[in-house]
Amino acid sequence: MTGKPAEASGRILARLQQLHPKLIDLSLGRMERLLKNLGNPETRLPPVIHIAGTNGKGSTLAYLDAILSARGQRVDSYVSPHLVHFNERIRLAGRDIDEAQLTALLAECEAANEGAPITFFEITTAAALLAFERSAADILLLEVGLGGRLDATNVVARPALSAITPVSIEHTQYLGDTLVGIAAEKAGILKAGVPAVIGAQMPAALAAIEDRAATLGTPLLRYGVEWDVHPGGDGFNFESSSGKSHFPLPALAGAHQIGNAGIAIACVEVLAAGALPHAAITEGLAGARWPGRLQQISLSDMSAGWEVWLDGGHNAAAGEALAAARDWTDKPLHLIIGMINSKAPEDFLRPLAPLAASVTGVAVPGETASLAPEDISAAAAGLGLPNHEAKDVKAALAGISRQDGPGRILVCGSLYLVGDVLACHTHAPNC
């Protein structure tokens, strides 16, 4: 976890982390047992949009939340991981769950679990489902934690809609080491007769998704087939069987956000039975917020003219998206990278290498599974990039800012690292 949880919920969360020897152990059996003890809240949820994928899940959810809220709907959502406070994971009508409610739900789940083995994500997801059952929301946006087929969120028997954002190689120790296998795991959220919106996919991934859909009888709405998006004029165009519509560029930065916005619009089109709510979509695209994804922040101790950006991207596809997200060439670009040891820094760095003036490796604070800074600098050296190591982001920022400037700094490689920057350098600049 990143950040410091509130005292009451923090004590319970710390205990819950000790209930299973592994942080990740994909299975639905433990979850189903606990939910039964809780009276099966997953059977009494608002209509659910279930979202899986490798990249873009959070941004797609943010657009959906903003668009549906602009339509006057009460929207609840579940995301992971959090950046600063655990409460961020459970949002009720657009607000993080309050501390008293969170503490009560966690205590209820802890008691119902009766000390049995269960992963942290499973039992906290159960708490979230209890919150959503008791909420008066019109719709629930449910983001998959890892994979899909055996993810703790995949207990909803019949969502209103499924969505799969672009799939790429990730979490190979849990999902398999082939794109086909990983896509098949993501496609495990598909349900018979439930429409599914599919974002842009590599051919092998799309084939795996289509195979699963054909087996189940899942109607697919695929990027480039049933719907499409592409830049146009001062915004972008969305095309489907309903026709062609023009929208302004989304508020979230990066060229890849057009694709994420397209997935959200395609979902809204399904929910609206083909009648696009143009005003709500325009308002939602402009109002969407998703911290830690190509986010620019202000730091008081940086000299004038220096920019600091944050992004939690950590795989090859994310590196490619970051490289294409904007014009990075008008100022020297310095990367501060921290990564978990299941990631491949070379793959993430390769698309960014032609743009980078330097790379500084740091450890991800509080993570025993962090890559060592020297591993990141070695990956940078292998790509011919000037490289350094620092004890933390604060030291890395200080070292870079002493160079000729002004320039641009991108802190990236892990959402946990981004969360630490937001918690430490923006909320408590002296830590």
Residue 11 located in a structural domain: no
Residue 9 located in a structural domain: no
Residue 75 located in a structural domain: yes
Give the residue-averaged pLDDT of 260-272: 97
Whether 229 and 375 share a structural domain:
no
Under the banding of pLDDT at 50, 70 and 90, the label for residue 396 is very high
Burial of 221 (0-12, 13-18, 19+ CB in 10 A): buried
Whether 194 and 302 share a structural domain:
no
Under the banding of pLDDT at 50, 70 and 90, the label for residue 430 is very low
Whether 318 and 406 share a structural domain:
yes
Residue 99 located in a structural domain: no
Whether 159 and 306 share a structural domain:
no
Domain stops at, among 234, 252, 285: 285
Computed on alpha carbons and rounded to an integer, the radius of gyration of the chain in Å comes to: 21
Whether 258 and 316 share a structural domain:
no
Under the banding of pLDDT at 50, 70 and 90, the label for residue 226 is very high
Q: What is the pLDDT of residues 34-43, one digit of tens each?
A: 999 999 999 9
Give the residue-averaged pLDDT of 404-420: 91
**pLDDT of 421 strictly over 50:** yes
Under the banding of pLDDT at 50, 70 and 90, the label for residue 6 is low
**pLDDT of 4 strictly over 60:** no
* 103 touches 12 (CB < 8 A): yes
Cα–Cα distance list, 46 to 4, 106, 112, 137, 138 (Å): 31, 21, 23, 6, 6
Whether 279 and 374 share a structural domain:
no
Note the pLDDT of residue 262: 98
Note the pLDDT of residue 427: 54
Give the residue-averaged pLDDT of 275-282: 95
Whether 342 and 312 share a structural domain:
yes
Q: β-strands 408-412, 333-337: how paired?
A: parallel
Element (H, E) at 415: helix 415-421
Note the pLDDT of residue 8: 86
Residue 106 located in a structural domain: no
Rounded Cα distance between 381 and 377, Å, is 6
Q: What is the pLDDT of residues 300-319, one digit of tens each?
A: 778 788 999 999 988 888 89
Domain count, the chain: 2
Under the banding of pLDDT at 50, 70 and 90, the label for residue 257 is very high
* 278 touches 272 (CB < 8 A): no
Show Cβ contacts of residue 121 under 8 Å, excluding neighbours closer than 6 positions: 24, 80, 145, 146, 152
Rounded Cα distance between 132 and 91, Å, is 9
- The CATH number given to whatever domain includes residue 169 is 3.40.1190.10
Under the banding of pLDDT at 50, 70 and 90, the label for residue 194 is very high
Note the pLDDT of residue 2: 45
Whether 271 and 309 share a structural domain:
no
Residue 207 located in a structural domain: yes
- The CATH number given to whatever domain includes residue 323 is 3.90.190.20
Note the pLDDT of residue 3: 46
Say which residue, 177 or 141, is predicted with more confidence. 141
pTM: 0.90
Residue 110 located in a structural domain: no
Sheet containing 48-52, strands listed edge to edge, beginning at the edge strand earlier in sequence: 95-96, 90-92, 75-78, 139-143, 48-52, 161-164, 196-198, 220-222
Q: What is the pLDDT of residues 96-152, one digit of tens each?
A: 999 999 999 999 999 999 999 999 999 999 999 999 999 999 999 999 999 999 999
Torsion from C-alpha of 176, 226, 71, 192, nearest 10 degrees: -50
Q: What is the pLDDT of residues 158-171, one digit of tens each?
A: 999 999 999 998 87
Domain stops at, among 252, 285, 318: 285
Rounded Cα distance between 80 and 66, Å, is 18
Whether 72 and 193 share a structural domain:
yes
Note the pLDDT of residue 425: 66
Residue 371 located in a structural domain: yes
**pLDDT of 5 strictly over 80:** no
Note the pLDDT of residue 1: 41
Give me the chain's average pLDDT, please.
Answer: 93
* 104 touches 111 (CB < 8 A): no
Whether 51 and 174 share a structural domain:
yes
Q: What is the pLDDT of residues 336-376, one digit of tens each?
A: 999 998 888 999 999 999 999 999 999 999 888 899 999 99
Q: What is the pLDDT of residues 120-135, one digit of tens each?
A: 999 999 999 999 999 9
- For residue 178, the enclosing domain spans 43-91+134-285
Angle, vertex CA 179, rays to CA 173 and CA 183, nearest 5: 90
Whether 416 and 315 share a structural domain:
yes
Give the residue-averaged pLDDT of 372-383: 96
Give the residue-averaged pLDDT of 398-420: 91
Note the pLDDT of residue 218: 98
Angle, vertex CA 389, rays to CA 387 and CA 390, nearest 5: 140
Whether 73 and 184 share a structural domain:
yes
**pLDDT of 324 strictly over 70:** yes
**pLDDT of 414 strictly over 70:** yes
Domain stops at, among 235, 266, 285: 285
